[in-house]
Amino acid sequence: MIEIRKAAVKDSSVLGEIHAKSWKAAYKNIVPDSFLDRFTPEKRQKYFEKALTEEREEDFLVFYDNNPVGLICIGKCRDEDQDARTGEVRGLYILPEYWGKGIGAYALLWGLEELSNRGFEKATLWVLEENIRARNFYEKIGFRYKGYKKDIQIGKNLTELRYEKPL
């Protein structure tokens, strides 16, 4: 059974663990190992402690059979060219040993419904151009690349693509 609940500061350790492990698996061979090696659960725990204390983002823990296996972060779209009717999936991370079990799809669909319930009419998300697995996953859910991209630095120069989906 899959359940989702809002994360609290006390969840920072498990959020950090999920974030670091899923990042390292998803971005292996995309992001340099030298960068991924520094992306530790302890550093991510500190990030989540600060973000949740300051209420900078809204994170939700994803549970499978009562075990925390993922996280999803949603909210108002941060892109300046989008209006107040656009929400954003800011992050979706599932532990790699749970990939392919429908948990990520369940969490994403839950997040989209949550955004719709809040009055958003469209959802966006950013995905690394080289992350073909994630791009295929988002496209199966109905997201489409609309031509917006940005260059970012994560141990090397990479390109992120903005995907959009009407709600």
Per the domain annotation, does 149 fall within a domain?
Answer: no
Residue type, 29: N
Percent of the chain past pLDDT 90, that is, above it, reads: 97
Amino acid 87: pLDDT: 97
Per the domain annotation, does 68 fall within a domain?
Answer: yes
Per the domain annotation, does 164 fall within a domain?
Answer: no
Per-residue pLDDT of 20-72, as tens digits, reads 999 999 999 999 999 999 999 999 999 999 999 998 889 999 999 999 999 99
Amino acid 34: pLDDT: 93
Residue type, 97: E
User: Mean pLDDT in the chain?
Assistant: 96
Per the domain annotation, does 139 fall within a domain?
Answer: no
Per the domain annotation, does 143 fall within a domain?
Answer: no
The answer on pLDDT for 107 being more than 90 is yes
> What's the pTM value of the predicted model, to 2 decimals?
0.94
Per the domain annotation, does 96 fall within a domain?
Answer: yes
Tell me the two tokens of residue 8. Answer: 């609290």
The answer on pLDDT for 131 being more than 90 is yes
Per the domain annotation, does 39 fall within a domain?
Answer: yes
Distance CA 66, CA 126 (A): 29
Q: Is 30 helix (H, G, I), strand (E, B) or coil?
A: coil
Q: Number of folded domains in the chain?
A: 1
Question: Could you identify the residue written with the tokens 């496209």?
Answer: 139
What CATH code is carried by the domain that includes residue 87?
A: 3.40.630.30
Helices (H), the chain: 12-26, 33-36, 41-53, 103-117, 132-141
Amino acid 44: pLDDT: 96
Per the domain annotation, does 134 fall within a domain?
Answer: no
Residue-number span of the structural domain to which 116 is assigned: 2-123
Distance CA 110, CA 55 (A): 21
The answer on pLDDT for 144 being more than 90 is yes
